[in-house]
Amino acid sequence: MEQQKINKLKEILSIKNRTRYFVWMLFFFSLSSIVIFALLLNRGEARQASAANEADANSFAGTNLEAKSSFVWDVVNKSEMFSKNADLALPLASLTKIMTVITANKILAPSDLITITKEHLTPEGDSELIVGDNWTAKDLTDFTLLTSSNDGAYALASAAGDHVGFIKSMNGMASLIGLANSKFWNEHGLDRETDRGGAYGSARDMAILFEYTLKTFPDLMEATRYKNLNFVSAVANYNASNTNLFIDQIPGLIASKTGFTDLAGGNLVIAFDAGLQRPIIISVLGSTQEGRFKDALQLVEATMKYINDN
């Protein structure tokens, strides 16, 4: 009887061991299958990414840019399509005015009246603004962006607060947006000295700034779509021309902003619709006065080639 109990116990233990063995084997088999599947999936994604990168490289291979830095950003897909020294901090020149109008827009109402003073006309460059004239904040913003008016930028900043506080707000906004390589010393972007710019930033930063502006204030840069606009202030009519001379050659243009100083060279940021509401932002820094437009057009063409090939 005792032996029968022992044999029965051995049989039960044997069954338990076989069951345990089977469970462990099933577990390891399932785990191995998951690992193999993940590896195959990653390999497939890597191949797709490699193919996309190769196609991307082929599309932009023919570009011959004068710019020191450039960046092409696909807003919808949150993807970098092309970059050249994209994180290099360079003088921004009048691209600074994008941050100026954003900061002023958070303080001033569109209908607020701004009276032009003699002090507003002290920055380099003559926009033919008239002392004592009154502008609405919206019209002066549009005029400033379209013509890249240094006087207009100074007037907007002055109307929004004291100079030191306004520049501090510009830099605070840059940190909030996530512009890692940007710093502002004035509101118009004019060089402080022959070797010191009025503001610095990278091509990537400018694309991020443009995206933020278009999403947060969708109408703020609408004026930059047009070749010419007429503004009526309290005492005069202004026939204003866009500083982007190639505006008619950019398909689906959403917005643009130019910049040029001796130190910065030629800068340009554009946003255009590549089709089916797919905005693309292109930033070009450190080119030449005319080369910035040619550089941007090359990148537009390469972008469209990449999209059409994929």
* Residues 241-265 pLDDT 10s: 999 999 999 989 999 999 999 999 9
Higher local confidence (pLDDT), 53 or 209: 209
Domain ranges of the chain: 67-309
54 pLDDT band, cuts 50/70/90, is: very low
Cα dist from 281 to 73, 130, 179, 222, 302, whole Å: 5, 35, 16, 15, 13
Strands (E), the chain: 69-74, 79-84, 90-91, 113-115, 134-136, 183-184, 199-201, 228-232, 237-241, 253-261, 265-273, 279-287
Tokens in use for 122?
């002290």
Nearest-CA neighbor of 100 among 244, 199, 228, 202?
199
Per the model's pLDDT, the better-predicted residue between 193 and 13 turns out to be: 193
Residue 179 is encoded by which pair of tokens? 């512009």
Q: At what angle do helices 137-147 and 150-160 cross, to 10 degrees?
A: 150
Tell me how far apart the alpha carbons of residues 108 and 48 are, in angstroms, rounded to a whole number: 48
* Closest alpha carbon to 198 in 267, 261, 148, 141: 261
125 pLDDT above the threshold of 70? yes
Given this model, what pLDDT does residue 126 score?
81
In angstroms, the CA 217 to CA 34 distance is 47
Work out the pLDDT band at 164, boundaries 50, 70, 90. very high
Q: What residues does 237 pair with on adjacent strands?
A: 232
- Closest among 35, 86, 87, 39 to 65, alpha carbons compared: 86
Report the C-alpha gap between 2 and 124 in whole angstroms.
110
pLDDT at position 134 over 90: yes
Cross-strand partners of 270: 256, 282
Quick one: residue 252, left, alpha or beta (phi over 0 = left, psi -120 to 50 = alpha)? left
Beta strands 237-241 and 134-136, pairing class: unpaired
Select from 302, 206, 190, 291 the least CA-distant residue to 255.
Answer: 206
> Does pTM surpass 0.85?
no
The average pLDDT across 223-243 equals: 95
Q: By C-alpha distance, which of 27, 39, 31, 163 is closest to 103?
A: 163
- How many CA atoms, within 13 angstroms, populate the side-chain half-sphere of residue 131? 6
What confidence tier does 4 reach under pLDDT thresholds 50, 70, 90?
low
Residues 6+ apart with CB under 8 A from 4: none
**Structure confidence at residue 60 (pLDDT):** 85
User: Distance (Å, rounded) from C-alpha 34 to C-alpha 239?
Assistant: 68
Determine the average pLDDT of the residues in 301-307.
Answer: 92
In CATH terms, the superfamily for domain 67-309 is: DD-peptidase/beta-lactamase superfamily (3.40.710.10)
Rounded mean pLDDT, 99-120: 97
